[in-house]
Amino acid sequence: MKVLFAIMLLFFSIVPPTYSAEIDLNLKDNEFAITFLPLNHGEAAFLHLPNNRNIMINLGMKQHDKMIVNYLKNFHIQNVESVIITDPQFMNDSLLKKLKKSYHLQHIYTGGELYKELKSKIPQLEKWEKGHQWLLTPNILLEVIYEGHEHHEGLDFSITSNQQRFLWMSSTSEKSKQSLLLEKLADVNIIKTANFAQLGSMSPQLLKHIDPQTAVILKDKGRMPDPEIMQLMHEAWIDVYYTEQHGLVMIKFSNQNYEVITVPMK
């Protein structure tokens, strides 16, 4: 197991951003952060870059639009330059319109199936394939690790900065798991689990192959994470942050370490 250097800060004095809390990550040139929103269902996250650059990863569901806009305000986000859609079910047309109108959205990136479905309707839509690389800053690289066209498949990508590497997992098919087993992922520190860590979303072999220090699991109303996957993570000494329990989860990456910051929901 890799050496963990993570700091968990519980800000009990901060009310949920849906009220009036303000959060400033104060990123330096070589840093980035990811904020996982505690939605009842669906996925939505902010990728924060230096110089007030922001990217959204997935858009939740229509019923969460107001909540997500409140989070944008409380992070002082005035521009969302790009959106990454990893799975068709997290393509939220109503929020996308708001981002275009009020947040200067320029680019929308997705995988093959959604691209074929929506390319005629959304001029900004761009297709990513496995191996695609995006240099977010001179020191921060996003790379597509898997892009699937079949059921239970989507975009899986990593973000690397110096000694830190984060893996966003979306695909749960056997084909995708076998493909990821062939990738060099030993330097991954943190994963966002696919499909809310439900049954079949992670194999013991794949978890051992990645060997992360920390895992983030997003809440899915009415469904708990699979007990066997949770047990595997416990046995591997993986720190688990679950938005149902921890609320808002922010991870700030710097040169030598990362911090995990949670804001409990009241």
Q: Kindly state whether residue 19 falls inside one of the protein's structural domains.
A: no
The confidence band for 119, taking pLDDT boundaries of 50, 70 and 90, is confident
Between the ranges 29-33, 53-57, 252-256, where is the mean pLDDT highest?
Answer: 53-57
Q: Kindly state whether residue 22 falls inside one of the protein's structural domains.
A: no
Structural domain range at position 203? 8-14+28-263
Residue 97, C-beta contacts closer than 8 angstroms, at least 6 positions apart:
none
Q: Kindly state whether residue 254 falls inside one of the protein's structural domains.
A: yes
What CATH number corresponds to the domain at position 215? 3.60.15.10
pLDDT at 158 (0 to 100): 98
Q: Kindly state whether residue 231 falls inside one of the protein's structural domains.
A: yes
Kindly provide the residue ranges of all beta strands, DSSP E only, lying in 17-171, ordered along the sequence: 32-36, 44-49, 53-59, 82-85, 107-110, 125-127, 133-137, 140-147, 155-161, 164-168
The confidence band for 266, taking pLDDT boundaries of 50, 70 and 90, is low
Distance CA 43, CA 196 (A): 9
Task: Lay out the sheet containing 140-147: strands in order across.
Answer: 133-137, 140-147, 155-161, 164-168, 190-192, 214-217, 239-242
Query: How many domains does the chain contain in total?
Result: 1
Average pLDDT over residues 190-204: 94
Residue 16 pLDDT > 80: no
Single pTM value for the model: 0.90
Of 108, 21, 130, the C-alpha closest to 71 is 21
Q: Kindly state whether residue 86 falls inside one of the protein's structural domains.
A: yes
Average pLDDT over residues 104-125: 88
Q: Kindly state whether residue 227 falls inside one of the protein's structural domains.
A: yes
In whole numbers, what is the pLDDT of the chain averaged over residues?
89
Residue 15 pLDDT > 80: no
Average pLDDT over residues 4-27: 47
